[in-house]
């Protein structure tokens, strides 16, 4: 007969944290939200550690290159959606990796014989106003000059005018040789009041640029998440169908970590995908898997070689998997059980496999609850879909600005690959809805408030790190009446705006 769980599964809203002792040092400014993104062995450091425990969902309406850049500035990681062509996804990854680097390889290059019209077209294509002028028009040719917006006036110049007539020639430029450190390059930039500094080799050929704006950006975003080349870290979603084509393209584009995007991860298809990646790349390519909701699912993916495991089925705000198929489990219960399985696995093998709570986050404090229950970071969809940086349209609905938000299992997304059960290449039925979410402005403003809430709650529990929170946290189930008591009640509220 079927197996029956003795206890009902619970959601985050059914739990509260009970305060612990806070000493004089337990203040929000001292809280560290660093957390591992990928697995590591006992006594070793993970290859990727995030500065905040937030990643954005692998969704068309959430995670593109602009979201990835914005979230990396805050210290988290965005997983660029995979329900698009391999070429388009790889291009998004490349945009993120080239956006911020200490030494940036030029992607805007022309020759002296090109024209002002070519400059204007290239600027519109790349969005970059600094264009390197090399002898052959490539990004490794002999540097002969530079063009920036200061070098031309469209209203007074013909588009047919050749670049050599108005560029700043190399004789009037300040450059630096290969081997110059990033600190030295920034010192030269500030000493000579430059916006950019070309790095050239002994033959005068262009190697890279260092930009003033990158230094300023780092000072404004102290938690920004960078790789060893000072580029933003970015993830990308893959599926269990075209991975043999998609994975190599994403790796070549520079993706730091991959994740299998699937509604249910306890399957042979995920194991096959991970094993193919391991056979081709070994452990050099990091790949997460999921989603699962119990111990068996976690063990299966951990033993298959997943670098992290995602938890959650049917808990997303636009997900109707539970309504449609009757499959899923309360998110809090899922996180608690999988966290225990993760700790068991670590004790047995000495390998720590991070776990991610995906879905079920309604209020900011739910993130803190998920961390206290044992997850290492949270994946959020609706939360990030509301911001300027998400790829969807801002629309006016009944007098209020909204952002479009749709599920990967919706008819709009047509992402049949994430529901791989070996069947036809189409969606037989939908498991997600098409909707709106309230527009919330720039990502930075709201994320700052969310992280402040997490830090304050951790201090209330006497914890300065996420592992310490998981060790010290005391959680209590609450009754339905207690949930009502916890909000504003028996008053007329003047302002109902929140940051959730």
CA dist., res. 43 & res. 87, Å (int): 39
- Which is nearest to 498 in space by CA: 443, 458, 446? 446
Phi and psi at residue 385, in whole multiples of 5°?
-65, -20
Instruction: Return d(Cα 32, Cα 51) in angstroms, integer.
Output: 8
Q: Which residues are catalytic?
A: 319, 418
Q: Which residues of 94-123 are buried (b: 16+ CB within 10 A; e: fewer)?
A: bbbbbbbbbbbebbbbbbbebbbebbeebb
CB 420 within 8 Å of CB 239: yes
Alpha-carbon distance 55 to 70, whole Å? 11
Residue 34 tokens, joined: 């660093």
Q: What share of the chain is helix, strand, coil (3-state, %, to 5)?
A: 35, 20, 45
User: What gap in Å lies between CA 238 and CA 274, rounded to an integer?
Assistant: 11
For the chain, the residue count is: 500
CA atoms within a 13 Å half-sphere pointing along the CA-CB vector of 63? 30
């Amino acid at each position: 007969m079927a197996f029956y769980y003795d206890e009902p599964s619970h959601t985050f809203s059914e739990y509260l944290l009970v305060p612990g002792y806070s000493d004089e040092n337990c203040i929000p400014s001292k809280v560290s939200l660093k957390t591992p993104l990928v697995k590591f062995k006992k006594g070793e450091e993970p290859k990727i550690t995030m500065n905040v425990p937030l990643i954005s969902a692998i969704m068309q309406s959430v995670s593109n290159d602009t979201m990835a850049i914005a979230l990396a500035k805050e210290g988290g990681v965005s997983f660029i959606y995979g329900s698009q062509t391999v070429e388009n996804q790889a291009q998004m990854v490349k945009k993120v990796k080239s956006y911020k680097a200490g030494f940036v390889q030029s992607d805007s290059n022309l020759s002296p014989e090109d024209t002002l019209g070519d400059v204007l077209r290239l600027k519109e294509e790349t969005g970059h106003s600094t264009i390197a002028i090399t002898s052959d028009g490539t990004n490794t040719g002999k540097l002969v000059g530079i063009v920036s917006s200061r070098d031309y006036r469209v209203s007074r110049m013909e588009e047919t005018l050749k670049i050599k007539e108005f560029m700043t020639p190399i004789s009037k430029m300040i450059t630096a040789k290969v081997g110059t450190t990033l600190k030295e390059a920034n010192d030269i930039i500030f000493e000579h009041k430059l916006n950019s500094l070309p790095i050239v080799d002994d033959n005068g050929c262009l190697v890279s640029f260092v930009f003033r704006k990158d230094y300023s950006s780092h000072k404004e975003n102290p938690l920004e998440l960078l790789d060893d080349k000072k580029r933003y870290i970015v993830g990308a979603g893959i599926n269990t169908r075209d991975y043999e084509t998609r994975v190599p393209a994403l790796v070549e584009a520079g993706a730091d970590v991959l994740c299998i995007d699937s509604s249910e991860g306890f399957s042979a298809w995920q194991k096959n995908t991970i094993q193919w990646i391991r056979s081709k790349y070994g452990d050099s390519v990091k790949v997460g898997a999921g989603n699962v909701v119990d111990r068996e699912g976690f063990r299966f993916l951990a033993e298959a070689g997943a670098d992290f495991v995602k938890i959650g089925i049917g808990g997303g705000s636009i997900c109707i998997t539970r309504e449609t198929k009757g499959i899923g489990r309360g998110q809090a219960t899922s996180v608690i059980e999988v966290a225990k399985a993760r700790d068991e696995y670590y004790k047995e093998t000495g390998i720590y496999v991070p776990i991610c709570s995906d879905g079920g986050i309604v209020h900011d404090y739910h993130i803190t609850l998920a961390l206290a229950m044992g997850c290492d970071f949270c994946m959020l969809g609706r939360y990030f879909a509301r911001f300027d940086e998400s790829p969807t349209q801002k629309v006016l609905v009944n007098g209020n600005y909204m952002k479009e938000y749709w599920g990967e299992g919706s008819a709009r997304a047509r992402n049949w690959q994430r529901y791989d059960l070996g069947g036809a290449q189409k969606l037989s039925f939908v498991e997600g809805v098409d909707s709106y979410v309230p527009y919330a402005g720039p990502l930075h403003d709201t994320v700052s408030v969310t992280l402040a809430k997490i830090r304050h709650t951790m201090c209330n529990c006497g914890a300065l790190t996420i592992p310490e929170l998981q060790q010290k946290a005391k959680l209590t189930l609450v009754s339905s009446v207690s949930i009502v008591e916890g909000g504003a009640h028996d008053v007329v509220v003047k302002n109902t705006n929140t940051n959730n």
